[in-house]
Amino acid sequence: QVHLVESGGGVVQPGRSLRLSCAASGFIFSNDAMHWVRQAPGKGLEWLSVVSYDGSTQYYTDSVKGRFTISRDNSKNILYLQMDSLRVEDTAVYFCARSLEVVAAPRYWGQGTLVTVSS
Amino acid sequence: QTVVTQEASISVPPGGTVTLTCGLNSGSVSTSFNPSWYQQTPGQPPRTLIHGTSSRSSGVPDRFSGSILGNKAALTITGAQAEDESHYYCVVYLGSGIWVFGGGTKLTVL
């Protein structure tokens, strides 16, 4: 059974950094691409980033490019999202999700972790 | 900037058929955009209904179907039930590793 568990969320001041983790189990993590998607309170879903199965390729939406970094540790079955220079508008629930490849949409989702950026 | 468009809200009577659409502010959605559809209730993560335009995810009732209608991706619910009242999102692949979600459709069954 596919299991994705996000952690690392919390309250952080604007301009600071936070690293999210997504622990994966129940499938061969090193075979699949992984995405981060967020949802601001009361708003829709926003795709943020995807990393290839081996971590060699990463893509980002414009709003986080240069501030957020996606990475993975296939030896530990963990996906990361390093978030720097956080802004109030980055406040959201952050979901990790699995897909078969970069060109495949997210299919299996974690429960999400809440990040609140506030002074 | 590419915007993925969805109806803001739609109503359907119980047992009725409804089609939600997913388009682009510039151009058409085709199968090469790999559209997928998700259902989300408040406080829950998205549930994948349809991937790759028309493939139904495991456990999804067959009253949900995906297709391309004209220049848009479409999600059709045939025989809507009360539990289908939810928010629905599409996502499309724009190429170069970039995905974009639509703004979502709030479906009311009444």
Q: What is the percent of chain A with per-residue pLDDT over 90, rounded to a whole number? A: 96
Residue B83's pLDDT is 97
Q: Which of A4, A6, A45, A49 to mutate to test the interface with B (most CBs of B within 10 A)?
A: A45
Taking only the tens place, the pLDDT of each residue in B30-44 is: 999 999 999 999 999
Taking only the tens place, the pLDDT of each residue in B69-109 is: 999 999 999 999 999 999 999 999 999 999 999 999 999 99
Closest residue on chain A to B36 (Cα): A105
The answer to whether the Cβ–Cβ distance between B48 and A57 falls below 8 Å is no
Alpha-carbon distances of A55 from A24, A30, A68, A97, B84, rounded to whole Å: 15, 9, 15, 15, 37
Residue B79's pLDDT is 98
The answer to whether the Cβ–Cβ distance between B89 and A44 falls below 8 Å is yes
Q: Give me the residue from A45, A103, A108 closest to B93, CB to CB.
A: A103
B1 has pLDDT over 90: no
Alpha-carbon distances of B107 from B16, B37, B54, B82, rounded to whole Å: 12, 13, 20, 10
